[in-house]
C-alpha cells in the first residue's frame, strides 16, 4: 500500500466506534481501498435476494460478485454492514482464521503486475494457495464453471460461423460433401465434443485431464495458431480494456465510438436489452426488501420515499455511457458546497426540481437547502471536503433488471445510513452553535 492508502487503512483500523468506521468506509466509497467492499457486499446481497433458480443467471453477468463473500457467515456479513472495512481487511480476517503462513499471505496480498504473463503466473500461485486452504467455496466454484461454460458457448458460435463458411467454400470448390466433413472432423468437431464433456463431468481430475488433452490437441493441430491465440487473447486482450477505460472520457474519444463499443459489448453478452421503462425500474427499487438488523429502517424508508418522489434519478446506461462495461451503477452528484459558514448551491436544475415537488419558488427552495441541507440532500466527500449530494442510479433494462435494481438500491440504502449518522452529528453541532 502506498503512504496515503496506508494512512486511510490505519485510520479505519484505529477507530473504536463502529459508526465512525462506517462513515470512513462510506465517505471513501470511490477509493479502491473501500470500493470493492461496497460493490462486493451489494452484489452479494443482490445474489442472495434471488430465488435459487435465478442466482446463476445473475452471477454470469455480475463483475462485482467476489469469491471472498461466499466464505463469510452471517455474523461476518453483519460486521461488514456495520463497519464497511477496507477490502484487504476482509481477506486478512479470513486468512488469520485459517492460520496461513506469512509468506503465503504476502503472495495473496501481492498486486497483479502489468505484464499479462507474470500476472497469469501470480494468479496461479494465488489459486494454488486458496485451494490448499479450502478458500474457494463450492458455490463460487460452480459460478466459475458456469462462466467458463458460457464463454465457451460464445466462442462456439464464432467457431461455427468461421468453420461453416470455410466448409461451404471447400464444398463449392470440390463439389464433394465428404471433403468438408473430413475437414470438420480434423479439429472443430472432436475439439467441441471434448470441450462439451469437460463441462459435463463433475470429477475435477477428469475435467483437468480433458482440458490438458484439449490444449495438447490444439498444439498438435496448429502450434502457430495456439501461439497466435495466446498473444491475441492472453496478452493483447488484457491491454485493450485498460486502454478503453483510460481514454473513455477523453475528448479525443468520440461519442459515436463510445456508443458503438458499449452496444457491441451488450450484444455479445446476450443480455438482450429492453425498452427503458423508468416507472418499472422505480417500482423494483421501491419494492426491494432489506431484512437486516444492521440497516436502520429509517434509511430504507428515506430511500423508498426518494424513489417514490423521483428525488433519486434513474438513468439508462446506454445514454449516459458513464462506464464502458457497467450494466448498472450508483453515483452521487454534488448539489451544494459549504463555503465557510455559508452553503453555495451549484446544481440549480436539481433545486428547481425540488421546488416543483415542494410547490415553492426557486429562491425559497434555495434558502431551505442553505438552512437545512440534510432534509433534502445526502453527504459525500469531494476534494477532501464534505459536500451535499443527490443520488443517481443507472440500470440497464434486461432480464436481470430486478437483480441490478436490488444491487444499486442496496448501495443507495448504505448511503442513506451514512447520511443518517452524519445528520445526527450535524444537528448536534448545529444546536451547539
Q: What is the pLDDT of residues 319-347, one digit of tens each?
A: 988 888 899 999 999 999 988 888 899 99
Q: Tell me how long the chain is.
A: 433
Residue range 239-245: average pLDDT? 72
Q: Which of 269, 286, 312 is the last residue of a domain?
A: 269
Same-domain pairing of 260 and 283: no
Element (H, E) at 116: helix 116-132
For residue 301, being part of any structural domain is answered with: yes
Is the confidence at residue 16, as pLDDT, over 50? yes
Consecutive H or E run containing 339: strand 328-339
Same domain, 302 and 423: yes
Q: State yes or no: pLDDT of 255 exceeds 50.
A: yes
- pLDDT given at position 419: 92
Q: What is the pTM of this model?
A: 0.84
Task: Identify the pLDDT of residue 68.
Answer: 92
Same domain, 53 and 77: yes
Same domain, 343 and 235: no
Going from the C-alpha of 221 to that of each of 167, 190, 215, 309, the distances in angstroms are: 18, 12, 10, 63
Average pLDDT score over residue span 55-80: 93
CA distances from 279 to 50, 85, 235, 242, 282 (A): 21, 35, 43, 35, 5
Q: Is residue 364 domain-shared with residue 381, that is, in the same domain?
A: yes
Least confident of 21-25, 160-164, 170-174, 336-340: 160-164
C-alpha cell belonging to residue 409: 438500491
Residue 123 belongs to a domain: no
Residue among 69, 41, 40 nearest 137 (CA): 69
**In angstroms, rounded to a whole number, what is the distance separating the alpha carbons of residues 77 and 75?**
6
Mean pLDDT of the region 32-55 = 95
Domain match, 289 and 257 both? no
Same domain as 300, residue 343: yes
The answer as to whether 409 is a domain residue is: yes
pLDDT of residue 187: 66
SS3 state of residue 114: coil
Same domain? For 236 and 376 the reply is no
DSSP state of 325: S
The whole-number pLDDT of residue 279 equals: 95
Tell me which of 429 and 59 has the higher pLDDT: 59
Residues 75 and 175 in one domain: no
Same domain, 166 and 294: no
Q: Is residue 134 a part of any domain in this protein?
A: no
How big is the chain by its Cα radius of gyration, in Å? 26
Domain span including residue 256: 141-269
Q: How many percent of the chain have pLDDT more than 90?
A: 44
19-28, 34-43, 147-156, 382-391: which has the minimum mean pLDDT? Answer: 147-156
Residues 153, 182 share a domain: yes
Q: Which of 236, 269, 302 is the last residue of a domain?
A: 269
Average pLDDT over all residues of the chain: 84
pLDDT for position 216: 64
Structural domains in the chain (count): 3
pLDDT mean over 161-178: 80
Q: Do 153 and 252 share a domain, yes or no?
A: yes
Amino acid at each position: 500500500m502506498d503512504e496515503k492508502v496506508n494512512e486511510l487503512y490505519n485510520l479505519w483500523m484505529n477507530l473504536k466506534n463502529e459508526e465512525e468506521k462506517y462513515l470512513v468506509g462510506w465517505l471513501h466509497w470511490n477509493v479502491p481501498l473501500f470500493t470493492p467492499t461496497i460493490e462486493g457486499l451489494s452484489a452479494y446481497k443482490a445474489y442472495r435476494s434471488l430465488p435459487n433458480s435465478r442466482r446463476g443467471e445473475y452471477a454470469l453477468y455480475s463483475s462485482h460478485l467476489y469469491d471472498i463473500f461466499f466464505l463469510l457467515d452471517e455474523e461476518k456479513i453483519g460486521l461488514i454492514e456495520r463497519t464497511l472495512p477496507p477490502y484487504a481487511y476482509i481477506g486478512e480476517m479470513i486468512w488469520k482464521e485459517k492460520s496461513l503462513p506469512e509468506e503465503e499471505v504476502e503472495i495473496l496480498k501481492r498486486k497483479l503486475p502489468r505484464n499479462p504473463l507474470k500476472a497469469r503466473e501470480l494468479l496461479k500461485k494465488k489459486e494454488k494457495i486458496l485451494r490448499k486452504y479450502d478458500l474457494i467455496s463450492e458455490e463460487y466454484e460452480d459460478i466459475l464453471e458456469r462462466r467458463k461454460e458460457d464463454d465457451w458457448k460464445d466462442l462456439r458460435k464464432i467457431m461455427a460461423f468461421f468453420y461453416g463458411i470455410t466448409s461451404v467454400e471447400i464444398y463449392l470448390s470440390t463439389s464433394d460433401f465428404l471433403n468438408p466433413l473430413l475437414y470438420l472432423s480434423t479439429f472443430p468437431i472432436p475439439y467441441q465434443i471434448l470441450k462439451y464433456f469437460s463441462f459435463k463431468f463433475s470429477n475435477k481430475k477428469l475435467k483437468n485431464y480433458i482440458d490438458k488433452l484439449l490444449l495438447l490437441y490444439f498444439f498438435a493441430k496448429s502450434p502457430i495458431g495456439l501461439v497466435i491465440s495466446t498473444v491475441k487473447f492472453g496478452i493483447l486482450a488484457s491491454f485493450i480494456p485498460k486502454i478503453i477505460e483510460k481514454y473513455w472520457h477523453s475528448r479525443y474519444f468520440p461519442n459515436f465510438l463510445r456508443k458503438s463499443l458499449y452496444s457491441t459489448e451488450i450484444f455479445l453478452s446476450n443480455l438482450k436489452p429492453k425498452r427503458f421503462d423508468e416507472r418499472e425500474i422505480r417500482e423494483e427499487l421501491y419494492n426491494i426488501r432489506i431484512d437486516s438488523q444492521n440497516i436502520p429502517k429509517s434509511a430504507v424508508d428515506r430511500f423508498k420515499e426518494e424513489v417514490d418522489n423521483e428525488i433519486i434519478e434513474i438513468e439508462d446506461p446506454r445514454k449516459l455511457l458513464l462506464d464502458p462495461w457497467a450494466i448498472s451503477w450508483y453515483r452521487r452528484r454534488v448539489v451544494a458546497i459549504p463555503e465557510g459558514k455559508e452553503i453555495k448551491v451549484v446544481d440549480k436544475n436539481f433545486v428547481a426540481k425540488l421546488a416543483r415537488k415542494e410547490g415553492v419558488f426557486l429562491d425559497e427552495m434555495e434558502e431551505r437547502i442553505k438552512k437545512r441541507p440534510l432534509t433534502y440532500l445526502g453527504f459525500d466527500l469531494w476534494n477532501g471536503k464534505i459536500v451535499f449530494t443527490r443520488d443517481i442510479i443507472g440500470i440497464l433494462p434486461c432480464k436481470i433488471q430486478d437483480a441490478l435494481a436490488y444491487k444499486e438500491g442496496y448501495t443507495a440504502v448504505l448511503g442513506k445510513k451514512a447520511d443518517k449518522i452524519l445528520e445526527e452529528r450535524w444537528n448536534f453541532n448545529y444546536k451547539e452553535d
